[in-house]
Structure 1
């Protein structure tokens, strides 16, 4: 089967929305990203319809048989895109060990998620978006040390070292002004 340029274009357009859904490092995701993904998906759908109707035109003038390639590409895109949109912000291959919650001064929800492979995610959840910082952690005695992937100096909501109070199940920062985190059950 010969792969035509229009099908290569369709495959490339199908891959474009995924650049906003793949997050290897720290990221923020919100309504603006959803609009961009929607726009790229709309371009894909318009291109699919143009190719589909061009194939139907070729059938009517009896130059070609019906080609299922664009339908197969679109079906695969729809299934993978649906799963990617649903699971893009979840660590599906990691198990959560502990989750700590707090609130910032701006009333944003703060969440620290510790995973079984000694990695963590720190989420700042706003009304229409959220930001995620990633890195590794380790417990030493009664302290919890965070080693961030992209260290931001002077982060006013998330520190590098917390003391774990086992009685109250809280993380208390060693720096003043940072919020305390409570273990979520």
Structure 2
């Protein structure tokens, strides 16, 4: 297809090409983002293997397709989820919704293990670095602790993803895993 005279590929074809070029975490982040933003549908995702056929890296890229999840709202959430998955701790829920009937609202926790009352927040620098954001995060954390007594809410940043034990050790402890 063309746009203003420039040749373009479809989002599905672009994702296929990127799957062949990027490392796993970045490739899955692209898929998650494309799904989350509505640029790619689940039927589109099912069509990507046709674009991969016969190309170097295709078997690896096909494996990564099954990891795509449009509920992830950022590449950081995707990275944390993949670290958990690789260690055998896939989160049962992404965007775990906790209702607050008293205030008529709800809160979402990025990754959740509800039966263990464990949640993980992936805190990116931009949305969480201002003083106002810090106060809001504290208020939210306190409210969630009130709504779900016994909740363990772990918070991780980009730097934690470069040293997976910084994520996995506290998570395993919170989940009661060896």
The TM-score bracket by the shorter chain reads 0.3 to 0.5
TM-score, scaled to structure 1: 0.32
- Highest CA radius of gyration, 1 or 2? 1
Richer in strand (by share) = 1
